[in-house]
Structure 1
Amino acid sequence: MEDNHLFPVFFKLNQLHVLVVGGGNIGHEKVNALLENCPSAYITVVAINFQPELIELVKDAPNVELIRKPFSCGDMLGKDLAIAATADRELNQYVWEKAKSSRVLINVADTPELCDFYLGSIVQKGQLKIAISTNGKSPTVAKRLKEVLQEVIPSSINEVLDKLQVIRDRIKGDFTEKVKQLNRITDVLVRKD
């Protein structure tokens, strides 16, 4: 049985610079996902052509730059993450090679074996954000789980989080003692009575 060895992280996209190569449907999908999670994300999109929906999407995004030109290795300079989002497998492979030689983490759309990271399904309710990954096996399952979680997580979760932050700030003691107290307080969330 194959294990999922992915380590989930949440990038602060307003502090990193993302390169997206591709201005078509795939590029639009990836830029949209980035902006949905961080409207102030720093994104540079390089493509020969941009679909109108992508141009419309980024018109009010202050930190997104569209550059109409073919991809070149210099586009990797100063980037922290890259996404190869074209329908051209050879171009995606070339972008991957340049990212690897530049030590830039890369996601190659629909090519899990060339990905350093995946863009998982995201559930967000207020300040709570949950990422779902199937290790590249089935984005459809991730999408369905997202729908279920979106429905069952109460809209009042922000109030719960705010109250727990106040409690956490008031708890005295070392880290271990704080964890014990917070575990006792939040036990009600998982208790099966």
Structure 2
Amino acid sequence: MAYFPMFVDLKDEVCIVIGGGMVAYRKIKALLEFEAEVVVIAPEFCECVRSLKNKITMLNKSYETTDIKAAFTVIAATDDINLNTRISKECRELKIPVNVVDKKEECSFIFPAYVKKGAITVGVTSSGKSPIISQRIKNKIKEVIPDYMEELVEILGDIRDEVQLSFEQEEERKQVYKQLMELGCLKQGKLTKTDIQDIIKKIKEN
């Protein structure tokens, strides 16, 4: 069975990580990269987790069911297999998406290997069967995405309203974006306002 690749906006959403060790730390770092509001619950925290204290909420306590009631999503990353199983069960009963580290069958979602450059995110998963293969593919993808693509995607995103107002036909809009992308790649992301206006004018005249 393959997993459906659904991209979710985590900005300012409460994501609860239960566990304070290195495994939890890696999950926390990923969540912070996507601007989630991260709450970490554990009786003890490793130094790496403590180093993030200004970016996360740390609750120095043992897990209780009431802790997850307001969660957008939960990650069970403790070293207690039975506790992780309990967390998974309670999340499913409450219809809260849950990831249990290293226990695919107890997850309702899994973390992909991913490449992130600004607004561009590419996720790779083997549906939990072989993380090492996912990592290898991720590294290959990372090699082929040029750094300037981050700047280019911002430029094209910023002109969406202008293009929408300038063209009624979807096909014309596609031509604008296609030509701007090709020119942007040639210029390594350095598109100017003149470049944009010239291409919009050219498409309008055709």
Shift of 1:157: 0.7
Work out whether 1:154 is the aligned partner of 2:146: yes
User: Following superposition of structure 1 onto structure 2, how do residues 119-134 of structure 1 map, counting pairs within 5 Å?
Assistant: 119-134=111-126
Shift of 1:117: 1.0
Query: Deviation digits for residues 78-120 of structure 1, max 9, x if unmatched?
Result: 1111010012110100111111222211011111111111111
* Count of residue pairs the alignment pairs up: 178
CA contact (8 A) 2:32 2:38 kept: no
Aligned to 1:43: 38
User: Following superposition of structure 1 onto structure 2, how do residues 104-119 of structure 1 map, counting pairs within 5 Å?
Assistant: 104-119=96-111
Aligned to 1:144: 136
The ranges of structure 1 where at least 4 consecutive aligned residues each deviate by more than 2 angstroms after the TM superposition are 10-13, 162-174, 180-189
What CA distance in whole angstroms lies between the structure 2 residues aligned with 1:116 and 1:73?
18
Question: Which is higher, the Rg of structure 1 or of structure 2?
Answer: 2
Of 45-54 and 161-170, more deviation after overlay is shown by 161-170
Query: Deviation digits for residues 4-40 of structure 1, max 9, x if unmatched?
Result: 24242223232x11111111121112112212332xx
Work out whether 1:31 is the aligned partner of 2:22: no
What CA distance in whole angstroms lies between the structure 1 residues aligned with 2:155 and 2:49?
39
CA RMSD of aligned residues (A): 2.0
SS in 2 for 1:107: strand
SS in 2 for 1:130: strand
Find 1:59's aligned residue among 33, 37, 53.
53
Shift of 1:145: 1.7
CA contact (8 A) 1:168 1:182 kept: no
Shift of 1:160: 2.3
Of 90-99 and 27-36, more deviation after overlay is shown by 27-36
Q: Structure 2 unaligned runs (5+)?
A: 183-206
More helix by share: 2
**TM-score for the superposition, normalised by structure 1:** 0.82
What CA distance in whole angstroms lies between the structure 2 residues aligned with 1:7 and 1:149?
16
Aligned to 1:76: 68
What CA distance in whole angstroms lies between the structure 1 residues aligned with 2:173 and 2:113?
28
Aligned to 2:86: 94
User: Following superposition of structure 1 onto structure 2, how do residues 170-189 of structure 1 map, counting pairs within 5 Å?
Assistant: 170-171=162-163, 172-174=166-168, 177-178=169-170, 180-184=171-175, 185-186=177-178
Shift of 1:182: 4.2
**TM-score for the superposition, normalised by structure 2:** 0.77
Percent of paired sites with the same residue: 26
